[in-house]
């Protein structure tokens, strides 16, 4: 008979061998990772116009936000000083104050001052025309944001359709050799442009609505200043 120690050693070796074979037979699962850059490169050529649109929108938003915020600043003593100058007959001083202020409402008042002495309706029309010009200047570039808000998602959908056509073409070309991996890879690649287009479109939409709201508030301020100036002209000296 074999010694017991030898038998135990053989059993241990057999156990270790079976465990090693089972471990080798089990598939090694690795977690797939995909960076943002890799995801963007999967979107194809339509990612380039989407990138350009996003950069243009960022530039327009930042530039317009700065201009509109400057236009919205008010000097609380401005109208009182204009009133004092006009009642004292110092028209030149009032004009110099408007030029120094250099804001949309100061240019509005300056246009009204140049029409002093004419019928009130002429003064009001001149002020309104100037106000329209000022508001149009503030809205410069906003059509780009509006176009991007609606156009970027459409570009994304176009990229997805093109990607889906390519995916089905690849599957048809491979025939019976095609696998679910091939199909799923083509789908997620195609959907990248939709995600990118929606992101760009949503950002452009929010930026557009924010700037429009700020311009509307400035329009209300201009109307208020116009009425104050017209009331000032109707007051007795």
DSSP state of 30: -
Structure tokens at 225: 């200043």
Does 93 or 42 have the greater pLDDT score?
93
Note the pLDDT of residue 16.
57
Q: What is the mean pLDDT of the chain?
A: 80
Structure tokens at 226: 């116009």
Confidence of residue 34 (pLDDT cuts 50, 70, 90): low
Helices (H) and strands (E) in the chain, counts: 9, 0
Confidence of residue 26 (pLDDT cuts 50, 70, 90): very low
Q: Which helix (H) or strand (E) holds 3?
A: none
When pLDDT is averaged across residues 14-23 and rounded to a whole number, the result is 52
List the beta strands (DSSP E) in 25-154.
none
β-partners of residue 118 are 116
* 107-116 pLDDT per residue, tens: 999 999 988 8
Which of 98-107, 164-173, 226-235 shows the lowest mean pLDDT across its residues? 164-173
Does 99 or 178 have the greater pLDDT score?
99
What 3-state class would DSSP assign to 118? strand
Note the pLDDT of residue 173.
76
* 128-148 pLDDT per residue, tens: 999 999 999 999 989 999 999
Note the pLDDT of residue 29.
45
What 3-state class would DSSP assign to 103? coil
DSSP state of 175: G
* 76-116 pLDDT per residue, tens: 888 889 888 888 888 898 899 988 888 898 999 999 998 88
User: How far is the C-alpha of 127 from the C-alpha of 112, rounded, in Å?
Assistant: 6
When pLDDT is averaged across residues 50-56 and rounded to a whole number, the result is 92
Confidence of residue 185 (pLDDT cuts 50, 70, 90): low
């Amino acid at each position: 008979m074999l010694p017991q120690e030898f038998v135990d050693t053989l059993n241990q070796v057999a156990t270790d061998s079976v465990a090693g074979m089972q471990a080798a037979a089990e598939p090694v699962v690795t977690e797939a990772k995909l960076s943002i850059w890799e995801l963007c490169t999967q979107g194809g050529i339509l990612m380039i116009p989407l990138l350009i649109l996003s950069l243009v929108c960022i530039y327009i938003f930042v530039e317009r936000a700065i201009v509109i915020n400057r236009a919205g600043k008010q000097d609380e003593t401005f109208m009182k000083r204009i009133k004092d100058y006009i009642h004292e007959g110092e028209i030149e001083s009032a004009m110099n104050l408007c030029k120094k202020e250099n804001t949309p409402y100061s240019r509005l008042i300056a246009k009204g001052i140049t029409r002093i002495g004419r019928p009130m309706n002429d003064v009001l029309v001149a002020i309104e025309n100037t106000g329209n010009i000022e508001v149009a200047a503030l809205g410069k570039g906003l059509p780009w944001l509006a176009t991007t808000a609606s156009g970027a998602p459409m570009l994304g959908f176009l990229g997805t359709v093109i990607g889906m056509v390519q995916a089905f073409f690849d599957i048809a070309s491979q025939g019976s050799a095609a696998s679910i991996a091939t199909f799923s890879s083509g789908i997620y690649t195609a959907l990248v442009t939709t995600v990118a287009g929606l992101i760009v479109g949503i950002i452009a939409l929010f930026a557009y609505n924010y700037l429009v709201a700020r311009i509307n508030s400035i329009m209300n301020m201009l109307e208020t200043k116009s009425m104050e100036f017209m009331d000032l002209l109707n007051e007795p000296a």
